[in-house]
Amino acid sequence: MTDHTESASPGLQSGAIRIWESVLISIASSAPGQATAVSLGLLIPATAYAGGLSIIATTTAMLAIAWSYHRLNMWQQNAGGAYVWVGRAVSPYLGYLVGCLMLAGYLLGTVSDILPIGPAILTLLGFADVSNAWGEVISATLLGGITVIYAIVGIHMTARFQTFISLVEHLILISFCAVGVYVVFIMKRAGTVTPTWEWLSPKGVGGAGSLIAGMIVAVYLFTGWDTSIYLNEETERPEVNPGKAALWSVAILGVYYTVLVVTLQGAASLADISAHQDRR
């Protein structure tokens, strides 16, 4: 007798993510709020207030990389993305090395995003000593655990969660941008830095900045835009949509970060920013 019973096996959910969700997940993976908070104190001194120009230049380079990922994804859709492409097109050994680099990069990037959560939560709850080590560990672990649970539940729940978080985060950031434009560009309040045409110079105000140094810092801002590529097997039209989502994500992030930096960098003097750049 032939047994026709089929056992359901776990696997990726094909076609579970729509293109706009893929774009939102990639943008959320870059963590615009956290990335800006971490990078602003380094970007402004490095560029002498020409951070916007550095971000535009970095966006151009990132768009070229995103286009390459788009073409590679059209060739082969695999959740492994870059290391699979390198392993099959060049050599398995190089593919393995790329995978190791990706793992290390994501590990370090994720840790750098999580570390400031502890002090931020302690501040929100009104604790005086925000450097309390146990407070940082407990709050970061709890929030990190919630995120892991969402990932385990499934991509549908993860996509919805990321959409909600993105909406809240972007609403807050856009509000800060609006306040920054009003205070810096319109009111020109005392203690802020008045914008000048030198903000558009590659060397910044007084020639004290460096476009290259600014681009090196700005690269960190874009970390995570390639997430849509690694969700390709779970995205609608997997041969096309993930690459399009990556391109859209880079373009949107480029505009977003440029506006954020230009509107926020004048909110305090360079001396104050340098003095507080370690306090995120």
**Residue 103 confidence (pLDDT):** 85
Q: Within 13 Å of residue 205, how many CA atoms lie on the same side as its CB? A: 16
3-class DSSP string for 183-208: HHHHHCCCCCCCCCHHHHCCCCHHHC
Tokens 């450097």, residue located: 131
Between 167 and 211, name the one with better pLDDT. Answer: 211
> Left, alpha or beta for 234 (phi > 0: left; psi -120 to 50: alpha)?
alpha
Q: Lowest mean pLDDT: which of 17-31, 37-51, 159-173, 183-197?
A: 159-173
**Residue 241 confidence (pLDDT):** 93
pLDDT at 8 over 70: no
pLDDT at 6 over 60: no
Residue-wise burial string across 114-135, b where 16 or more C-beta atoms lie within 10 A, e elsewhere = bebbbbbbbeeeeeeebeeeeb
Tokens 């700005």, residue located: 218
Tokens 């810092």, residue located: 217
**Residue 7 confidence (pLDDT):** 43
Q: Please state, in angstroms and as integers, the Cα–Cα distance from residue 114 to each residue in 53, 132, 174, following that order.
A: 28, 15, 22
The rounded distance, in Å, linking the Cα atoms of 205 and 177 is 22
**Residue 249 confidence (pLDDT):** 93
Q: Domain segments of the chain: what residues? A: 25-80+156-275
Q: Lowest mean pLDDT: which of 13-17, 226-230, 265-269?
A: 13-17
- Cα 62–82–228 angle (5° rounding)? 65
**Residue 1 confidence (pLDDT):** 42
Give residue 177's identity as a one-letter amino acid code.
C
Between 5 and 73, name the one with better pLDDT. Answer: 73
Average pLDDT on 99-126 reads 74
Average pLDDT on 109-114 reads 68
Question: 229-262: per-residue pLDDT in tens?
Answer: 988 888 889 899 999 999 999 999 999 899 889 8
pLDDT at 191 over 70: yes
Average pLDDT on 214-242 reads 89
Whether the CA torsion 86, 91, 97, 99 is positive or negative: it is: positive
The rounded distance, in Å, linking the Cα atoms of 104 and 93 is 17
The rounded distance, in Å, linking the Cα atoms of 249 and 188 is 33
pLDDT at 165 over 60: yes
How sure is the predictor about 55, in pLDDT bands with cuts at 50, 70 and 90?
very high
DSSP designation for 30: T
Between 135 and 184, name the one with better pLDDT. Answer: 184
**Residue 132 confidence (pLDDT):** 65
Mean pLDDT, the chain, as a whole number? Answer: 82
Q: Please state, in angstroms and as integers, the Cα–Cα distance from residue 165 to each residue in 5, 59, 173, 186, following that order.
A: 42, 24, 12, 31
The radius of gyration of the chain's CA atoms, rounded to the nearest angstrom, is: 21
Partners of 17 in beta bridges: 235
Question: 71-107: per-residue pLDDT in tens?
Answer: 999 998 888 888 899 999 899 999 999 989 888 877 7
- Cα 53–35–94 angle (5° rounding)? 90
Contact (Cβ atoms closer than 8 angstroms) between residue 273 and residue 44: yes
Between 122 and 69, name the one with better pLDDT. Answer: 69
Backbone angles phi, psi at 260, to 5 degrees: -60, -50
